[in-house]
Chain A
Amino acid sequence: MSIIRYEQTQGKSLGFYALIAGLGAFILAALGGVYFMEHNGHHVTGMNNHIVWGLPHVFALFLIVAASGALNIASIASVFNKKIYKPLSRLSGLVALALLAGGLMVLVLDLGRPDRLIVAMTEYNFGSIFAWNIILYNGFFLIVGIYLWMMFERRMNKYSRKVGIAAFIWRLILTTGTGSIFGFLVARQAYDAVIMAPMFIVMSFAFGLAFFVLVLMASYKWTERPLGDAIVNRLSNLLGVFVAAVLYFVAVYHLGNLYLAENSGVENFILMDGGIYTQLFWYGQIILGSLIPLVLIYSPSTKGNRSMLGLASVLVILGGIAQLYVIIVGGQAYPMELFPGKEILEGYGAIALYTPTLAELMLGLGGIAVALIAIIFLVKVLPFLPESLADNVADPHHKS
């Protein structure tokens, strides 16, 4: 294994500017959507008093969950000392920060009073898991920022493992916190489950890695730098394991809920007769987002094919968004059990309806665009990407 040399991307080609312009258009559309929503009030959205968190929150939580997962590559390198992932550590930290920034932007811009964001920074309720998340997100920026500095600055390299361990622990706590936003809601049948937190962690592994794989393959292809099979195949295997792990947790979550008679109603709703939520669960999350990617990753005919790995990653991301839609929106659509043992005839208890609007969709997509544009700019400004990840450079076990 030879010394890794990092280098900025050129960022002068027509493609580069086209990419920036395209993403910029998405961000403008998102800002337009935000202005529309905040100027008129949320009545122009599909959200209401029963579906209080809608499509923006699906995207925001997806990005936040994926952010902590994207840091995994760096963690595997520094915490678990796997040398092959080492050259990817810088990019891993960058993708993590960019995704978190995108997610938080969406979350903040959907607030009823985003102009009062300062209140969220000055008035803390330390009993609120939500307030803890604000601290965890800010801490994540700080720790990953320091981690990147340790990796960039040669004199500081020796500390990078220690900071890497701190960052790894922090991201585990962060995703636990994100999962607990739902796990602590005792009133709602779909959420009141301790398994929410570990499930969110495993989801973050899969979503973050899928995003990372796409960014890595695209940037090496578009900058015409060599990217060897050793790394790509490793990442591909890892993605398969993570996707399978998510499937396992989803199965345990639903089986556990089915076992509790009090939760069988909401389980029937999600799994059997919930209309769009049932379809999103089976077709979106399970088939498109989990089973097909597993086939693409492990089937002999598609294994090692980068286009297929890219497709698998895209499907994992789409499946992840579907999964969060089912959890967040589906979980709210099913009514709460106000009177156990009684049937509500009037006044409450219908399945809540939600039709997302264009403004909400644009805001969500804008979050992804912000994350991507941040990555594209920063790899141009700072040397995040190794100039070569060919097998003879990157693979510690390479035999020439």
Chain B
Amino acid sequence: MDSKINRRDFIKATTATTASVAALGAGITLTTYVNANENPVTNEKRWGMLVDTNRLTESDIDGMVTACQKENGWGNETHSTGDQKASWIKKIKVKDTATQRISNLALMCQHCEEPPCVDVCPTNASMKREDGIVLVDKHRCIGCRYCMMACPYDARSFVHEELTNQKEHMPRGKGTVEACTLCVHRVDKGEQPACVEAVDSDAVIFGDLLDVTSNIHQTLKRVQSTQIRADLNLNTGVRYSGI
């Protein structure tokens, strides 16, 4: 019997039955699915973040970095040298050359609407979800690093060594490229990204840019904000005010 199942025929023949069996079996095993996202995300949402550098303290930023490391399990690579270690989010201190004003900010993947990394990726591994989150599909990533050449924000890291004991929700592995996922696994559960949660004040807010009732939408309407390298017209999902 086993040997007679041909995979392709099997799929054709059993798509219908699978559905009905699944429905029957739902009583026992599928109960936990109820609250899970069964439907694909859509472009009715666009996730974004607003960082207010006037209120963000340096220790806030350190907290964001630590929270990201803890949540996603990067930064404890043992063999990689400084520049080879993963760096999904980092603290940046800038001084205006004219006014000498100093601002501190956290820099991570900006989740562009027109991401250069997605444009250049030969295998569609770099991708943007319908809701605006830019991800690396590591199943397809061949490790060519062209996306790292193309990213204007120095946001991506290449895994330079073999890893074990990854976080269950955040697979990472040697030879592939990775970056901030906007904590997609949390966002899909209705939670906030780890770095946003780590800041006590509302110096960093997260939400749906398109939702007119959301805090982030209303704040962006009210205060002046900028995108880093706005001249590139990438329309980033992460915005900054106060720089």
Contacts and interface: CB of A to CB of B under 8 A. Distances in A.
Q: Do chains A and B touch in the complex (CB under 8 A)?
A: yes
A52 B148 contact: yes
A339 interface: yes
Interface residues of A, number: 51
Contacts of A42: 84, 158, 160-161, 175
Interface size class of B (residues with CB under 8 A): 35 or more
B100 to A, nearest CB: 10
A47 B84 CA distance: 8
Interface in B102-151: 102, 107, 116, 118-125, 140-146, 148-151
A142 B89 CA distance: 45
B156 A347 contact: no
Most buried by A among B125, B145, B159, B228: B145
B116 A117 contact: no
Interface string A36-64: 00101111000111111100000000000
Contacts of A336: 152, 154
Given A48-B83, A49-B148, A186-B152, A112 B141 contact: yes
A49 B151 CA distance: 12
A124 interface: yes
A332 interface: yes
Nearest to A125: B124
B144 A128 contact: no
A130 B121 CA distance: 7
Interface string A300-342: 0000000000000000000000000000000010001111111
A123 interface: yes
Contact of B102 (A113, A345, A353): A345
Contact of A338 (B118, B123, B154): B154
B61 to A, nearest CB: 9
Interface stretch (B25-33, B90-98, B212-220): B90-98
A184 interface: yes
Given A52-B149, A123-B124, A187-B229, A348 B92 contact: yes
Interface of A: 38, 40-43, 47-53, 111-114, 116-117, 119-120, 123-125, 127-131, 134, 181, 184-188, 332, 336-348, 352-353
Interface of B: 77, 79-81, 83-87, 90-98, 102, 107, 116, 118-125, 140-146, 148-154, 156-162, 174-177, 228-229, 231-232, 243
